[in-house]
Amino acid sequence: MLSQQFQQALEACPLIAIIRGVTPDEIDMVANTLLEAGVRVIEIPLNSPVEPLNSIERLAKIMDDFAETTICGAGTVLTPEQVQSVQNAGGKIIVSPNCDPEVIRATNDRKLISVPGCLTPSEAFSALKAGARVLKMFPVADFPAQYLESLGAVVPKDVLTLAVGGITDTNMEEYWKAGARGFGLGSNIYAAGDNASQIADKARIMVDAAKRAQALG
């Protein structure tokens, strides 16, 4: 199942690389560098300025050919129509900055993975009611880790919680202890225009930090 693929990829490395600004001409280099560093989940936001759907299509082919379990998709997905476009391009994860029940339902109808953005209990339970089983807590680092832990006391235990926004190599362990089981990373793993060496260096630091957090159990 697709949800198992996502879970297996996160178990291999609990990071989602958010590669905003990547172009179709760069995606081979960027994706292969991240995969070689151990990243197994990659997201291309739809508000990337240059042909994000073309980049997703190329990324999906790269990841399908990779020897280990990987998965990719799109971020900043705001409408049901965009869900369809991402699926047509080969993306399997639908990530949003907000909680929109229409987008969640459209994602589930297409048997893709819905990752809505939430921050409050009301948003979290609205997402769950619409059918989400993964919650993107965003922007999580604007609040102490205790906030995430408190929210986890009422969210069902089988719901996967991701910490996104302000996550660094220095605070992953704190948010893991609070209940996060994956981390979304932006410019601290990839910034538009980064070369292979820069991406590899950033990814190595973040993958190492994520695995230290994961080792906490």
Quick count: other Cβ atoms within 10 Å of Cβ 82?
18
Per-position b or e across 36-60, b if 16+ CB within 10 A of its CB: ebbbbbbbbbbebeeebbebbbbbb
Rounded Cα distance, 151 and 155, in Å: 6
Active site residue 61: no
Active site residue 11: no
Closest CA to 90 of 42, 19, 18, 162: 42
Tokens encoding 61: 């082919």
Geometric angle at alpha carbon 201, from 182 and 23, rounded to 5°: 80
Please, are residues 118 and 151 in contact by the beta-carbon 8 Å criterion?
no
Closest CA to 200 of 212, 187, 189: 189
| Among 57, 92, 136, 202, the one annotated catalytic | 136
Quick count: other Cβ atoms within 10 Å of Cβ 88?
11
| Among 43, 57, 174, 202, the one annotated catalytic | 43
Would you please indicate which residues are annotated as catalytic (active-site) residues?
A: 43, 136
